Amino acid sequence: MMNFLNIFTPAFMLQSLDKIRDLMSRGESLAPDYQAYVSTGNFFNDMIGTFAVFFLFTINKLGEIFGSYGLAIVLTAIIVRLLLYVVGLTTAQIRGMKSMQSMQPVMRAIQHRYPDKQQQGFKTMDLYSKYKINPMAGCLPMLVQMPILFGIYRALYDQSFAGHDMFGIQLLFPVNVTSVRSFGMGGADMADIIDTVVSVDKLQGSMLHIPASIPLLGGSTWYAPALILVVLYVASSFWMQKVMRDMNQPDKKFEEEFMTAMKMKDVPRDPTQDAAEQMQRSMKFMNFIIIIFAFIFSAGALLYFIVQNTIMVLEYKLLASRKYIDLDIAELKAWINEPPQSQEQRMAEAQAKRDALLTKAGEPAEDGNTEKNQADDAGEDDDPDDDGSGPSLKRPRKKRRKR
């Protein structure tokens, strides 16, 4: 009985989308349903859906022009990285990371010189203000790019990629097809689409069925050709992590000279305050997440992120070689040895700045007749007919209009 069901169940599933089978058998692709991405009623989903529509439209148009959807995905990744560079997000991210990297030895000196946490905080804020550093500058561009990443992820699961391949690898298929067989967009069921593509393109030999006896993976079906994209994606992600980790290492020459000047050459580092060490620990968790995502992303999404990671590595290597902050060791040493202002001094200074702004805003505009106006005003006050015994009988003079 079970053998009978195993034979006829796939055929029954394929019949649920005969239209898809018919279109693909005639070499026609499924049209994307753009409205399905932006009519969810949820602001966050609709925002991501807007990015998904942009990517979907761009890839489909480029695919029609060049006759290759794989090439269209590669070109889209290049276009997105170029746009991020043009609007300044890439440069802002790298500048922020490099600035924080340059300040690591200075931060260590502040922590050593001022054990009190409040004084450390005041001195650190003064340091950021002195060199115009935003500690969140390296993170904000990454947060801005998150909707873009979600958008491309959703777009590359669209039914319109059914039957399209690059070098024989189906762009719609993830490695583990079982995990996303119920994930679809535009009203179509991903399980039916995958089964249809497998049947029409005769891809049964590319599907690897994992025996149920194997822990965790047992009972699932894998698309073997996509494994090469998994390897490339993981390798490119680890390469990018290494480059970012190197960027967060302080300049060895400056660190040695600065620590010698501060007489801290033999002071051991505090791992909890070391930005490079913190990134190293966070990267260990990210490595685990990257490997999981590699088996969830569709082959098209893997291709996109491989190209993106490669371009980002080149951007980091080129832009990170620039010098964004000039640091003078003697000036820094003198500045660190100056005690930070107390809270009362800071409040008094802030109040003085506010008073100065208010005074400046209330000053009359100065012109060439200032002295003449002052003399006229003095003449009005010193009325010779007024003996001070009563109200003056002189007609009041109209105010002079300023020119």
HEC secondary structure over the chain: CHHHHHHHHHHHHHHHHHHHHHHHHCCCCCCCCHHHHCCCCCHHHHHHHHHHHHHHHHHHHHHHHHCCHHHHHHHHHHHHHHHHHHCCHHHHHHHHHHHHHHCHHHHHHHHHHCCCHHHHHHHHHHHHHHCCCCCCCCCHHHHHCHHHHHHHHHHCCCHHHCCCEECCEECCCECEHHHHCCCCCCCCCHHHHHHHHHHHCCCHHHEEECCCCCCCCCCCEEEHHHHHHHHHHHHHHHHHHHHHHHHCCCCHHHHHHHHHHCCCCCCCCCHHHCHHHHHHHHHHHHHHHHHHHHCCCEHHHHHHHHHHHHHHHHHHHHHCCCCCCCCCHHHHHHHHHCCCCCHHHHHHHHHHHHHHHHHHHHCCCCCCCHHHHHHHHHHHHCCCCCCCCCCCCCCCCCCCCCC
Half-sphere exposure of 124 (CA within 13 A, CB side): 18
pLDDT over 60 (residue 203) = yes
Counting residues of the chain whose pLDDT is more than 90, the rounded percentage is 16
Give the residue extent of every domain in the chain: 1-22+29-342
pLDDT over 70 (residue 16) = no
pLDDT over 70 (residue 84) = yes
Give me the pLDDT at residue 246, please.
Answer: 80
Q: How confident is the model at residue 228 (pLDDT cuts 50, 70, 90)?
A: very high
Among 151, 165, 296, residue whose Cα is nearest residue 230: 296
Q: Looking at mean pLDDT, say which of 65-79, 123-137, 210-224, 346-360 comes out highest.
A: 65-79
Among 172, 215, 211, residue whose Cα is nearest residue 195: 172
Average pLDDT over residues 7-28: 52
Give me the pLDDT at residue 218, please.
Answer: 79
Q: How confident is the model at residue 225 (pLDDT cuts 50, 70, 90)?
A: very high
pLDDT over 50 (residue 38) = yes
Give me the pLDDT at residue 6, please.
Answer: 37
Between 18 and 84, residue with greater pLDDT: 84
Average pLDDT over residues 196-212: 86
Counting residues of the chain whose pLDDT is more than 70, the rounded percentage is 75
Across-strand partners of 260?
none
Taking the CA atoms of 169, 175, 181 and 183 in sequence, report the sign of the dihedral they define. negative
Under 8 Å between Cβ of 226 and 175: yes
CA distance 86 to 346: 39
| Token pair of 257 as six digits | 């000279």
Average pLDDT over residues 299-303: 93
pLDDT over 80 (residue 68) = yes
| Token pair of 11 as six digits | 């055929």
Cα separation values, 397 from 380, 393, 402, Å: 8, 12, 15
Q: How confident is the model at residue 340 (pLDDT cuts 50, 70, 90)?
A: confident
CA distance 78 to 384: 84
CA distance 56 to 155: 5
pLDDT over 50 (residue 155) = yes
pLDDT over 50 (residue 132) = yes
Average pLDDT over residues 378-382: 50
Range from 169-178, 248-257, 372-381 carrying the lowest mean pLDDT: 372-381
Q: How confident is the model at residue 145 (pLDDT cuts 50, 70, 90)?
A: confident
Give me the pLDDT at residue 370, please.
Answer: 47
Under 8 Å between Cβ of 286 and 60: no
pLDDT over 90 (residue 235) = yes
pLDDT over 70 (residue 67) = yes
